[in-house]
């Protein structure tokens, strides 16, 4: 796979350093074999997340200088409003400090205790906010998403038959809304087809249920539609995005991904004025006055500009290509990955890669630790550790997939960095039988993956 030159050049650089192997061993042991507890300075290439880790453009940085820090009615709020109208085709929006802030404000307005929220696959904070409001989060992604070896162009699709059957079985009155996550992060950054978004929207309309988008990676999803879905090859990305959002009543968005900013989020509403009024009231005590909602004026300006930049096809082509490139390199080295490669990350299938480590010994976390020691690269576990325990029985939940996520920040690393990551994993592959599983020696009650501590078994 040839590399594709980035449609930008580098103006400012941030030094990174590969500390010696002995120091990496010391650092990860001190961190209790938990990469979340490492100092970022001890990390060479940081693939923990694509959230808030991207690089802004010169236009965004210039925009910071016209930040209007008025408490109410900041000019940057109106610039952001214009971007959202133009790009999403929505009438209303409220800024929030990040994606979970949007969930926290919007969900209590839509969920009555006991109601279900149906989605393709809810992100963890989304699930948490649904449950905190007394709702029940249900994932109805198509089954093939659970098999990393199955190739399908839209592995993020919701199973429309299951969706409708669930509504019929449980009654529309017991369902709060339908939430389509684009791309589907928890299923490996897999895209959702236009046909599927439209289908979910039609089912929503049939049963009078609101349909929302979790729009964190909307532009990457649109790019996949253009490349993979019949009838969209000659449409522009902005046209595709407008159509995607036309099949929704509103959205929550973490702007830290496809907003191309380091912090920010929003609630978008297509046309429901009454809901907008409720959101405007609710946002005040939680996030802030509705024209800033937890963001400074300059941050809103950067986001207003980021949303316009992210729908540029040349940018998206290079972004997606870089992620695919890493996936190809890993495949060449015989490392099992989730296929096809998603939009923002490559997921290594640790169950297939390290079959000698049982799920009770956190194979993906063990691999994550090994990768840091081998090459200074920080990934993140998406598997048994993240899944946690069953709240009722206290038993470990063993998810279908135990993955190591290598999440690529936007506009930050070059192809050389990708080569380094792939070489590190290839070296590990050559001696993978020596890798030992982990046991947890400290386990916090909630969101354990962030602060848990381990030892090798």
| Interface ranges with ligand F0G (CB under 6 A) | 49, 51, 98-100, 123, 125-126, 181, 185, 214, 216, 254, 256, 265
Q: Which of 44, 121, 123, 315 is catalytic?
A: 123
CA nearest 373: which of 48, 38, 16, 15? Answer: 38
Tokens of 229: 């879905």
Q: Considering the complex, what minimum distance in angstroms separates the CB of residue 120 from ligand F0G?
A: 10
Answer for the pair 187, 120: CB distance below 8 angstroms, yes or no: yes
Q: Which of 62, 71, 273, 430 is catalytic?
A: 71
Q: Is 255 a catalytic residue?
A: no
State which residue, 159 or 214, has the beta carbon closest to ligand F0G: 214
Q: Is 122 a catalytic residue?
A: no
Looking at 255-410, which runs of residues are DSSP E strands?
Answer: 265-269, 345-349, 377-378, 380-382, 403-407
Q: Which of 127, 133, 142, 257 is catalytic?
A: 257
Pick left, alpha or beta for residue 89 (phi over 0 → left; psi -120 to 50 → alpha; otherwise beta): left
State which residue, 51 or 338, has the beta carbon closest to ligand F0G: 51
Q: By Cβ distance, which residue is nearest to ligand F0G?
A: 99
Q: Is 93 a catalytic residue?
A: no
Answer for the pair 347, 188: CB distance below 8 angstroms, yes or no: yes
State which residue, 99 or 342, has the beta carbon closest to ligand F0G: 99
What values do phi and psi take at 180, rounded to 5? -100, 120
Residue 277 host element (H or E): helix 273-286
Q: Considering the complex, what minimum distance in angstroms separates the CB of residue 140 from ligand F0G?
A: 16
Q: Is 170 a catalytic residue?
A: no
> In a 10 Å sphere around its CB, with 0-12 CB exposed, 13-18 middle and 19+ buried, how is residue 33 labelled?
buried
Q: Is 40 a catalytic residue?
A: no
Q: Considering the complex, what minimum distance in angstroms separates the CB of residue 142 from ligand F0G?
A: 17
State which residue, 220 or 249, has the beta carbon closest to ligand F0G: 220
Q: Is 214 a catalytic residue?
A: yes
Tokens of 277: 């009024």
Q: Which of 50, 159, 214, 299 is catalytic?
A: 214
Task: Count the helix, strand and coil residues of the chain and give each as a percent rounded to the nearest 5.
Answer: 45, 15, 40
Q: Considering the complex, what minimum distance in angstroms separates the CB of residue 123 from ligand F0G?
A: 4
Q: Considering the complex, what minimum distance in angstroms separates the CB of residue 98 from ligand F0G?
A: 3
Q: Is 36 a catalytic residue?
A: no
Q: Which of 27, 176, 200, 216 is catalytic?
A: 216
Positions annotated as catalytic residues are 71, 123-124, 214, 216, 257, 449
């Amino acid at each position: 796979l040839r590399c594709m030159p980035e449609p930008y050049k580098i103006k400012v650089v941030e030094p990174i350093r590969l500390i010696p192997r002995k120091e990496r061993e010391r650092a990860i042991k001190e961190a209790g074999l938990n990469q979340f507890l490492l100092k970022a300075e001890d990390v060479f290439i940081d693939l923990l997340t694509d959230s808030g880790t991207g690089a802004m453009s010169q236009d965004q940085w210039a925009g910071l200088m016209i930040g209007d820090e008025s408490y109410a009615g900041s000019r940057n709020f109106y610039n952001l409003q214009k971007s959202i109208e133009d790009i999403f085709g929505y009438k209303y929006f409220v800024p929030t400090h990040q994606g979970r802030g949007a969930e926290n404000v919007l969900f209590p307005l839509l969920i009555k205790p006991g109601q279900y929220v149906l989605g393709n696959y809810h992100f963890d904070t989304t699930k948490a906010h649904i449950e905190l409001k007394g709702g029940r989060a249900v994932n109805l992604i198509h089954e093939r998403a659970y098999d990393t070896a199955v190739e399908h162009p839209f592995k993020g699709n919701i199973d429309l038959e299951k969706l409708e059957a669930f509504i019929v079985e449980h009654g529309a009155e017991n369902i709060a809304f339908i939430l389509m996550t684009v791309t589907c992060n928890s299923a490996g950054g897999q895209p959702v087809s236009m046909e599927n978004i439209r289908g979910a929207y039609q089912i929503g309309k049939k049963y009078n249920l609101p349909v929302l988008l979790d729009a964190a990676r909307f532009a990457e999803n649109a790019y996949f539609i253009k490349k993979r879905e019949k009838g969209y090859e000659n449409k522009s990305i902005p046209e595709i995005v407008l159509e995607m959002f036309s099949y929704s009543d509103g959205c929550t968005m973490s702007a830290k991904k496809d907003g191309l900013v380091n912090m920010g989020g929003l609630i978008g509403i297509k046309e429901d004025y009454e809901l907008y009024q409720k959101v405007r009231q609710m946002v005040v005590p939680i996030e802030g006055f509705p024209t800033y909602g937890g963001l400074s004026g300059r941050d809103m300006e950067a986001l207003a500009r980021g949303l316009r930049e992210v729908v540029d096809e040349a940018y998206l082509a290079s972004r997606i290509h870089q992620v695919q490139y890493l996936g190809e390199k890993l495949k060449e080295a015989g490392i099992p990955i989730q296929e096809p490669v998603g939009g923002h990350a490559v997921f290594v299938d640790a169950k297939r890669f390290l079959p000698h480590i049982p799920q009770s010994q956190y194979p993906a976390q063990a691999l994550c630790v090994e990768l840091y020691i081998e090459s200074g690269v920080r990934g993140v576990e998406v598997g048994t550790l993240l899944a946690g325990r069953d709240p009722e029985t206290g038993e470990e939940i063993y998810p279908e997939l135990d993955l190591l996520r290598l999440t690529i920040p936007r506009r930050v690393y070059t192809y050389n960095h990708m080569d380094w990551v792939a070489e590190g994993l290839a070296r590990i592959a050559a001696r993978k039988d020596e890798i030992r599983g982990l046991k947890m020696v400290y386990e916090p009650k909630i969101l354990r993956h962030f602060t848990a501590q381990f030892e090798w078994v």
